[in-house]
Amino acid sequence: MKEHRIDDLRDPQRTAKEQAIFDFGLDLDVELSPDGIIAAATQATGLSLDPDHAALPRLAAQAAAVDRDDGLSGIGRLIVRNRLIRGLSARLRFDDFVQRNPEALQVELEPPVIVVGLPRSGTTHLVNLLASDSRFRALPWWEIQEPIPVIGDGPGPDGVDPRYARAQDAYELAADSAPLVKLMHDRPPHSIEEECELLDLDFCSYALEWHARVPAWRDHYLGLDQREHYAFLHQELQVLSYLRGPRRWVLKTPQHLEQIPALLATFPDATIAFTLRDPVAVVQSAITMLAYGDRARRTSVEPDALAEYWIDRIERLLRAAVRDTHLIPETQRVDVEFGEFMSDDLAMATRVIETAGMDITPEATAELSDYVAGNPRGKDGRIVYDLKTHFRIDPADLYERYAFYFDEFPQIGREVSA
C-alpha cells in the first residue's frame, strides 16, 4: 500500500495550479449578507420566500458566524456562501414540492438503520457497505446536494441526471485544489453521505463547523431544540422515498452522538450501529484532513488553533455520547468496535442487518461481498498521520483528557503511539 506523508502541512508548498487557485482566493471579495443569500436563492429557483420563514434566523446566525472568521480566504467564503445559497434554494424547492404534493408526507417509513459515531471512526465505510444492500434507501452525495429535482431539468441524452453531472464537476474541481483529500475522505457523486446536509435545509446542523471557525454557530446550534429539526428530517426522508423509494433508510452522521434524545424521539424503532474508535486517532485524522483542506480555503493553515478547536469539539461529542448512550434500547444497538470492523467488515454489516430484523438473503450477501471486494481499505494509498510533528501534541495528553470515554467503552483499543 502506498503511503503519503504530508510534510508541508504547516507550511504548504503548492503546485502551480494550487498556487493559482490560492492566489485567486486572496483577491476574491465575497459578501455573506443574509439578504444577498436570499436574493440569490430566490433568483436561482424562481420561488418566493416568506419573510417570516422559521429557518431565516438560523441562516442569519450561520452567516454572521462565518463573517467573523477573518482567516477564511475568498474561496473559503465563497464555498460557504454557495453552501448557504444551495441550502436555501433546496429548502424553497422542498417547501414548494410539499405544497404541490402533500401526499408525500403520508409515506410510511420502515424502521431505519442509523450509523452513529465519531467522525473518522468508520462511519462512512459502514454506511456505504450497508447501502450496497439494495433493500436500503440511502443518500448519495449528488442527491444530498440537490434533493428536489428542478422542474423540467430531466436527464440528458446520455441518461445522466443533471444533478449527478453537476456534482461530478464540483468533485473534479475540489480534487484540483486539494488532491490528497481523496485519500482521507473521498466523496464522488455516488458515495453515500450524511443526512446532516439534509438537516441543514433547516439551518440547524453542526456541519458548518467543518467549513469555517465558527464557535458562535457551535454555541447557537447546541442551544437548539433538535426535536423539531429531526422531525423536519423525517419529512425530508418521506419526500425522498416518495420521489425514489424504497422506504427503509440507512443513515449516518456524527452529529447524532450529541442528539441521541432527538434521534430516538424521531426514529424510535431505529437500529443503531454505534461505532467505537480511539478518539485520539479520530482527532489525528480529522485535524490532518481539515488542515490539508485549509491550504485552499484559508489565508494560512493555523494548525494549532485548528487542533485546539477540534480537540474540544470531539470531547463535547464524547461526553454527550457517554451521557445518552444508555437511552438506546439494547436490542436495537450494535457496537461497532473499529478494529473488529476493519478485520471483518462483512461480518459486522451482517450483524447490523440481522439486528434490524432483516434476513441475509443470497442477493444481499452478493451485494455486500461485491462492495467489500471493490472497496478495500487504502486501495488508493494511505496518509501517514503524525500528531507530534504536525500539531506539536503529545498523544499521552489526549489519552488522559479522553480517559472518561475509555472508561465507558473499555473494548476500544489505543491506536496512536504516545
Q: Give 115-158 pLDDT, tens digit per residue.
A: 999 998 899 999 999 999 999 999 998 999 899 988 766 665 66
- The amino acid occupying position 267 is F
Domain covering 3-408 assigned CATH 3.40.50.300 in the classification: yes
Other Cβ atoms less than 10 A from the Cβ of 29: the count is 7
Q: Stretch 9-34: mean pLDDT, rounded?
A: 90
Q: 405-418 pLDDT, tens per residue? A: 999 999 999 999 87
CA dihedral for 221, 227, 233, 235, sign (positive or negative): negative
Q: 294-334 pLDDT, tens per residue? A: 998 999 999 999 999 999 999 999 999 999 999 999 999 99
In terms of Cβ atoms closer than 10 Å to its own Cβ (0-12, 13-18, 19+), residue 16 is: exposed
pTM of the model: 0.92
User: Is residue 133 a contact partner of residue 367, using CB atoms and an 8 Å limit?
Assistant: yes
Q: 95-108 pLDDT, tens per residue? A: 999 999 999 999 99
Q: 358-382 pLDDT, tens per residue? A: 999 999 999 999 999 998 876 667 8
The region of weakest confidence among 51-55, 288-292, 377-381 is 377-381
Task: Give the pLDDT of residue 194.
Answer: 92
Q: Stretch 262-275: mean pLDDT, rounded?
A: 98
- Name 113's bridge partners: 250, 271
Task: Give the pLDDT of residue 155.
Answer: 62
Task: Give the pLDDT of residue 183.
Answer: 45
CA–CA separation, 133 and 147 (whole Å): 21
Over pLDDT 90: what percentage of the chain? 78
Q: 167-201 pLDDT, tens per residue? A: 887 777 666 555 555 544 566 888 898 999 999 99
Task: Give the pLDDT of residue 154.
Answer: 64
Closest Cα to residue 184, out of 119, 90, 255? 119
Instruction: Indicate the angle between helix axes 226-243 and 74-100, nearest 10 degrees.
Output: 70
The region of weakest confidence among 14-23, 264-273, 276-285, 352-361 is 14-23
Q: How far is CA 118 from CA 4, 219, 251, 271, in A?
A: 24, 19, 14, 17
- Where do the domains of the chain lie? 3-408
Mean residue pLDDT across the chain: 92
